[in-house]
Amino acid sequence: SDEEIADAVKTIEKDVASIKTDAVIVSSDDKFYSPLVKSIAKEEGVSQTELDQISGSGKEGRVTKDDILDFVKNKGNKVTPPVVNAVTSAPAAKTQSAPVSLANGDEIIEMDRMRKIIAQNMLQAKQAAPHVTSFVEVDMTNIVLWRNKNKNEFLKKHGEKITFTPIFIEAVAKAIEDFPMINVSVDGDKIIKKKNINVGMAAALPSGNLIVPVIRNANQYNLAGLAKQVNDLANRARTNKLKPDEIQGGTYTITNIGTFGNILGTPIIPQPQVAILAVGAIVKKPAVIETPQGDMIAIRHKMYLSHAYDHRVVDGALGGMFVKRVAEYLEAFDMNTPI
């Protein structure tokens, strides 16, 4: 009957709601879980209830990487994690990989657990969000000349080196204020508009892996304040001294592919953010510039911005206008900016 069908639907919805709650691993006042522990729990299908029951061997009883790995090892058969969200967390359909042929002298290298987690996270990020990338070329001449002129005095005055990164972050924070719908997350069919502008900056570790420390409320710092934040987080990232909350809560991310000599890139959006900006290498190029006397060709410092965004919620107009606004802020940098 119709009543029986309605009751069955309500029962299913109730069951799904309970699964959705249990699937999300959260910390509490009594139990803190690091991002690594959460990632392992998600990969291995360890529920919140099971995680809460693990007796941690870390400081103040915290569950460590070894604790959860021991739990998984002793648990027996791996449990498939429940679907958290049909849009953002649906498991990928299994595909049959083509067999890999081995030749004499080829070396087989087993992925360590960290590489497996990174690989899975990257795969899930690409599956969750349809990526679109827009590219804009920026004239960085004023910024390059200003930095060359003032870097020694800046160090003397503030005790900090001035790199290009805080200048990039300042421009991005301003552009986010102009286009706040870039600073959002997706939860099913809901868009969560973030109040704070927390900019993550990808930093390379000695191991070759990347970590993304977060500058919270980046729009509230001046250039000197951003330089201090950038240098401090980058230095502690390289020495594995970041606190767990310093790599969480980002709402937008910047990655510097120019460090490796690359000029363009198509970065992967870190979930649950909806956009990421890759800044390329700054190179000298001949360019046409407009002067009162007419167009002229001059040597300029140029750089490409690669802006990848989630096309579910960021249309081409918004994604393109945003990265163009970042470029405009960079090109409008005042040569007389005080240090």
Q: What are phi and psi of 275, to 5 degrees?
A: -160, 155
Q: Indicate the residue type of 43.
A: E
DSSP of 193-227: E-SS--EEE-EE-TTS-EE--EETTGGG--HHHHH
Annotated active-site residue 311? The verdict is yes
Torsion of CA 21, 26, 31, 34, to 10 degrees: 150
Clarify whether 131 is annotated catalytic. Answer: no
Q: What does 118-182 look like in DSSP terms, one character per residue? A: HHHHHHHHHHHS-EEEEEEEEE-HHHHHHHHHHHHHHHHHHSS---SHHHHHHHHHHHHHH-GGG
Q: Check 139, 245, 315, 334 and give the catalytic one.
A: 315
Residue among 131, 158, 301, 311 flagged as catalytic? 311
SS3 label, residue 31 = coil
| Catalytic residue positions, numbered | 311, 315
